[in-house]
Amino acid sequence: MEPRRLLLQAGLTLLFLVTSSCGGHLKSRLALKMDQALLTFHNQLREEVQVFYTSDYCYKCVYQPLVTVKPNNNNASAVISTKFTLSVRVESQARNVTLCRWSQMYEEAGHFSVWILMSEAASYPSCTHAVDKRPNNAYLPLLVAALILSIIALLFVVAPFIYRRPCTSKFIKAICCQSPQYSVDNEIHASEAEHNTTKAKPARLRSLDTFRGFALTVMVFVNYGGGGYWFFQHAPWNGLTVADLVMPWFVFIIGTSVVLAFRSMQRRGVSRLQLLRKVTWRTVVLLMLGFCFLNYSPRDGPLSWSWLRIPGVLQRLAFTYFVLSVLQTFWGQKEIPLRAHHWWNPVQDVVLYWPQWLIIILLETLWLCITFLMPVPNCPTGYLGAGGIGDNGLYPNCTGGAAGYVDRWMFGDNMYRYPTCKEMYRTTQPFDPEGLLGTINSIVMGFLGMQAGKIIIFYKGMNFHILCRFLAWAVILGISAAILSKCTRDGGFIPVNKNLWSLSYVLCMGCFSFLLLGGMYFVSDVKGWWPGQPFIYPGMNSIFVYVGHSLLGFYFPFSWEMHFQKGHGERLFQSLWGTALWVLIAYLLYRKKFFLKI
């Protein structure tokens, strides 16, 4: 019995050692979450190797250590990100040479192996790849959601069309409306009376409410996580994602709304003093909402001045709205001249408001001078990079260049502490995407929206001219953005950058805004093909939806604790569910004729 007991004890001891040594490996396999994969390196060489990596999205970033693999058939594993393409290289510690390197985009939840061995055909090492476990299709939930939403949208389009058919309409009325007082003639007279009543009211621009609601709906979706997909989140630094589009669209609509609203108040005889009072009150309310409500979260504890963030989204919108309104109050109330033959007729909506253009040009000149000429301590003049490990690690504390320096000088630590570049570029400096310098270009973006409003007023009833001018502005702004960025993400004169609200970013977003507003104007207001549902409902209650989703976004039923975090399915469903709830709430408020105005 003694030999058997010793043998059993030896077997148990060996099993314990094996499971202990593999425990970390098994744990890493089980710890995989969304946008992660497992990469295992098998070293069959007689020397220790070290593996380094960097993301191809990270501009000129220093390679970071991943794992160290001991010699003689040892292995080591690492959990890697699957969001972007990775550049990996294997180096020999003893000889200080690179043995092999490659770039590859690994897929979610996959298990991959790299065998480092001596090549049979040559005398140098090689790296051979293998797939141990097939990855998941990370985009399958997105495709399913897009298909379902497309079917729902198609039903909403087809159902009214079928209902409006004469045969279908008579059939439905014959079944549902058996009252003797009912007749088709009564319906016709009622619809004519309703049409005449509606006609007597001033027409509301559906495309503007639809565009506002579309931008707000996308904003809610991306703020709820966008299903965890990287392209529904803000870009790490330069470049564009879906999340980078929505706020400039919103600012653009503010500019258009200011022109149309002030034009209406001008016709009603509202004085400049009354306009200034109204504008000041709205600005103060937006600022207070941004400071007191959207700065607070139950996860952070009681409101404290020590961490109160001074810049913010509503703060920027408030200041932008105030400046645009002042421009329109003092230099925008111009009567449209008679259509005489003048050389400046094709650009009369620009020439007539030359004081506004002069102020905007001075503001943009100020942004360019501060950004490219202002000396920043320990940083190159005109630096626009993320700092950290970017730009070969030469400027680790220069995040945002002059924009970051001005904000840190003005606000100290009362800034956004988790910029989008922090994870990839490993930055240590706080940087606020709603900082002071970016607010200047936010005003420029809103002014482009004002230009759209002036076009609508000047060419009222001339839809072809309105659409042509929208297209011309889109082409001019798009070409300008392409020149400044050189059609590249990082290599242009001024890269497209949402964090900085760079000039090329504003021009690019202005191009998209004119195209989108023009398209919606043609479809909704000119042709009447699409009344704007469902986006028109949140568009008419934008303040309520934005503040509401920001305050209640972390509470049930808008969100909940997820249990299946290894894929995008539940995260995408939660984002779509929360967004749909706010669209539904906006629709119910629309039915009740409740519109939150400030």
pLDDT digits (tens, 9 = 90+) for 490-529: 989 999 999 999 999 999 999 999 999 999 999 998 988 8
Give 126's pLDDT tier (boundaries 50, 70, 90): confident
What one-character-per-residue DSSP string does 315-374 give? HHHHHHHHHHHHHHHHH---PPPP----TTGGGHHHHTTHHHHHHHHHHHHHHHHHHHHS
Give 561's pLDDT tier (boundaries 50, 70, 90): confident
What are the residue numbers of the active site? Answer: 234
The whole-angstrom separation of Cα 354 and Cα 360 is 10
Give 200's pLDDT tier (boundaries 50, 70, 90): very low
Structure token pair of residue 166: 């004469």
Check if the beta carbon of residue 387 is closer than 8 Å to that of residue 396.
yes
* Three-class SS state of 50: strand
Q: Which of 316, 367, 377, 406 is nearest to 494 (CA)?
A: 367
Q: How far is CA 472 from CA 422, 468, 524, in A?
A: 39, 6, 20
Give 560's pLDDT tier (boundaries 50, 70, 90): confident
Poorest-pLDDT segment among 37-46, 57-66, 113-122, 469-478:
113-122
pLDDT of 550: 86
Residue 313 exposure: Cα atoms within 13 Å on the Cβ side: 15
Give 165's pLDDT tier (boundaries 50, 70, 90): low
Structure token pair of residue 244: 């980078």
- The distance of Cα 17 from the centroid of its chain, to the nearest Å, equals 50
Higher pLDDT, 337 or 465: 465
Q: Report the greatest alpha carbon distance in the chain.
A: 116
pLDDT digit string (tens) for 298-308?
Answer: 444 555 556 67
Residue 532 exposure: Cα atoms within 13 Å on the Cβ side: 29
Give 333's pLDDT tier (boundaries 50, 70, 90): low
Q: What are the residue ranges spanned by the domains of the chain?
A: 32-133, 139-178, 206-337+345-591
pLDDT digit string (tens) for 48-96?
Answer: 899 999 999 999 999 999 999 998 888 899 999 999 999 999 998 778 8
Check if the beta carbon of residue 9 is closer than 8 Å to that of residue 17.
no
CATH homologous superfamily for the domain 32-133:
Domain of unknown function DUF5300 (2.60.40.2890)
Give 185's pLDDT tier (boundaries 50, 70, 90): very low
Give 152's pLDDT tier (boundaries 50, 70, 90): confident
pLDDT of 30: 46
Q: At CA 267, angle to CA 265 and CA 269, rounded to 5?
A: 75
Residues contacting residue 134 through CB under 8 Å, at least 6 positions apart: 110
Residues contacting residue 250 through CB under 8 Å, at least 6 positions apart: 212, 215, 216, 219, 317
Higher pLDDT, 297 or 449: 449
Residues contacting residue 179 through CB under 8 Å, at least 6 positions apart: none
Question: How much of the chain exceeds pLDDT 90, in percent?
Answer: 49
Residues contacting residue 2 through CB under 8 Å, at least 6 positions apart: none
**Would the pLDDT of 117 be above 90?**
no
pTM value > 0.95: no
pLDDT of 195: 43
Check if the beta carbon of residue 28 is closer than 8 Å to that of residue 79.
yes
pLDDT of 172: 53
pLDDT of 169: 56
Q: How many CB atoms lie within 10 A of CB 249?
A: 23
Structure token pair of residue 250: 């919103």
Average pLDDT, the chain: 82
Higher pLDDT, 6 or 451: 451
* Three-class SS state of 175: helix
Higher pLDDT, 174 or 32: 32
Q: What is the DSSP letter of 273?
A: H
φ, ψ dihedrals at 321, nearest 5°: -60, -40
Check if the beta carbon of residue 64 is closer than 8 Å to that of residue 52.
yes
Radius of gyration over every alpha carbon of the chain, rounded to an integer in angstroms: 30
* Three-class SS state of 16: helix
What one-character-per-residue DSSP string does 487-520 give? TSSSSSSS--BTTTT-HHHHHHHHHHHHHHHHHH
pLDDT of 8: 36
pLDDT of 516: 95
What is the sign, positive or negative, of the torsion defined by CA atoms of 202, 205, 210, 211?
A: negative
Question: Stretch 339-366: mean pLDDT, rounded?
Answer: 81
- Which residue type, as a one-letter code, is found at position 209? D
pLDDT digit string (tens) for 357-384?
Answer: 999 999 999 999 999 999 999 899 999 9
pLDDT of 192: 42
φ, ψ dihedrals at 255, nearest 5°: -60, -45
pLDDT digit string (tens) for 396-438?
Answer: 999 999 999 999 998 887 788 788 999 999 998 889 899 999 9
Give 221's pLDDT tier (boundaries 50, 70, 90): very high
The whole-angstrom separation of Cα 293 and Cα 437 is 24
Q: How many CB atoms lie within 10 A of CB 515?
A: 17
Higher pLDDT, 174 or 390: 390
Check if the beta carbon of residue 207 is closer than 8 Å to that of residue 517.
yes
